[in-house]
Amino acid sequence: MKSSVITFPGSNCDRDMDVALKKFGFKNKMIWHNDNELPKSDLVVLPGGFSYGDYLRCGSMASKSKIMQSVINFAKSGGLVMGICNGFQILVETGLVPGALLRNRYLEFICKNVFVKLNNKDNSYFKNLDKNIFEFHIAHNEGNYFCTKDQLKEIEDNDQIAIFYCNDNGQINDKFNPNGSIKNIAGIFNKEKNVLGMMPHPERMIDQSLSGEDGSLFFKNLINNIK
Amino acid sequence: MKISAIITLKKDVLDPQGKVIHQALDGMGFNNVSEVRQGKYFEIEVKENDPKKAKEVVESMCSKLLANLVIENYKIIETQ
């Protein structure tokens, strides 16, 4: 299975993602933002970081970079595109997934482990996973998911919410909402469910001795689903 | 000619920075403030002499890059 990780100026989780993808069997290539063409890929990942220094709005400049037209075409033809953290911010700026990501409600940069609950397993990312609650890491300043009332209705009607912030029992309420996101939304799909944007970093949970193993479960399952 | 654009957050969008600024102003004794909303201001020098055309160009910039229309509105002002 072939994957491509796009590196933008200011990306800093691109190498971690490369390590994670390779650990679970992907043949990964790093692709520079200024390239025109994506290599043949089964999965494209927009990694975390601070692309273009977060100038203007997080992800706004990266969403206009050269490679993104190929990424958008790939997504529109049904290819799997996953955006993590800054990658999620880039995805909302391209319009591939609905909504926007605002400053965290208490204006602080949040860096901690959180629990998330899967909402929809009928997709290539989450199907066949045995459990519903995962412990992932978040590290962001602008992860406060926002969308209009009309968009929220559409998102809910199409079952596009991917994951919610919750506690270790899967309880979803404001107490377990780290950043003020509408409805505790931590990740979202496009209508077709081939594009996934989420704030948490599964690639930071792939080593028991360093963190936890929930990311390993996610990546192992993902490559099996794509095969 | 110079065209300016003001980007503001839409009414329904939470502006935590504006809120903090409001609180700071309140603490400084400016007690007659009911709300503060923070936005962005751009001055763009366009190589165009026709004001109508110059505004159109900046309008296009606003809708494509400078503003995110999910959360922001923009207003264009001709300055020179």
List CB contacts of A59: < 8 A, sequence separation 6 or more: A51, A86, A87, A88, A89, A90, A91, A92, A93, A101
Cα separation, A134 vs A117, in Å, equals 6
Is A33 among the catalytic positions? no
Mean pLDDT of A30-41: 96
Nearest CA in chain A to B12: A148
When the pLDDT of each residue in chain B is averaged and rounded to a whole number, the result is 94
Domain holding A88: CATH number? 3.40.50.880
Q: Which of B13, B20, B66 sits opposite A146 (nearest CB)?
A: B13
Residue pair A126/A118 in contact (Cβ under 8 Å)? The answer is yes
Give the total number of structural domains in chain A.
Answer: 1
Rounded Cα gap, residues A83 and A74, in angstroms: 14
pLDDT for the residue numbered B23:
94
Q: B80 CA to chain A: closest CA distance, Å?
A: 24
CB neighbours of A41 closer than 8 A, spacing ≥ 6? A2, A3, A4, A29, A74, A79
Reported as a single tens digit per residue, the pLDDT across B13-37 is 989 899 999 999 999 999 999 999 9
Q: What CA–CA distances, in Å, run from A216 to A20, A46, A212, B7? A: 8, 19, 8, 42
Average pLDDT rounded to a whole number, residues A142-146: 97
pLDDT of residue A181: 97
pLDDT at residue B48 is higher than 70: yes
Encode pLDDT of A154-183 as tens digits: 999 999 999 999 999 999 999 999 999 999
Kind of pairing, strands A195-198 and A161-166? Answer: unpaired
Consecutive H or E run containing B21 = helix B16-27
Q: Which of A102, A217, A73, A98 is nearest to A161 (CA)?
A: A98
- Please give the residue range of the domain that contains residue A55: 2-226
Query: A49-103 pLDDT, tens per residue?
Result: 999 999 999 999 999 999 999 999 999 999 999 999 999 999 999 999 999 999 9
Residue A131 burial (C-beta neighbours within 10 Å; 0-12, 13-18, 19+): exposed
Q: Which among A74, A173, A185 has a CA at the least distance from the CA of A120?
A: A185
- As a whole number of angstroms, the distance between CA A77 and CA A188 comes to 19
> What is the structure's pLDDT at A211?
85
Flag whether pLDDT at A10 surpasses 90.
yes
Mean pLDDT for A105-130 is 96
Nearest to A101 by CA among A83, A115, A114: A83
Question: What are the tens digits of pLDDT across the range A125-139?
Answer: 999 999 999 999 999
A128: exposed, middle or buried (Cβ count in 10 Å: 0-12, 13-18, 19+): exposed
Q: Tell me what pLDDT residue B42 has.
A: 97
What average pLDDT does the structure give for chain A?
97
Find the CB nearest B17 among A60, A107, A147: A107
Residue that has been written with the tokens 């505004």 in this structure: B55
| CA–CA separation, B42 and B22 (whole Å) | 23
CA B27 to chain centroid, in Å, comes to 26
Domains of chain B, residue spans: 2-78
Assigned token pair, A17: 């993602």
State which fold the B2-78 domain adopts: Mth169; Chain: A , (3.30.1280)
Give the tens place of pLDDT for each residue, A201-226: 999 999 988 888 999 999 999 999 99
Question: Which helix (DSSP H) or strand (DSSP E) does residue B60 occupy?
Answer: helix B51-61
pLDDT for residue A145 is more than 80:
yes
Annotated catalytic residue within A85, A137, A140, A142: A85
Task: Say which of A103, A147, A148 has its CB closest to residue B17.
Answer: A103
Q: Which residues of A touch B20 (CB under 8 A)?
A: 107
pLDDT of B80 > 70? The answer is: no
| Residues of chain B contacting A197 with CB distance shorter than 8 Å | none
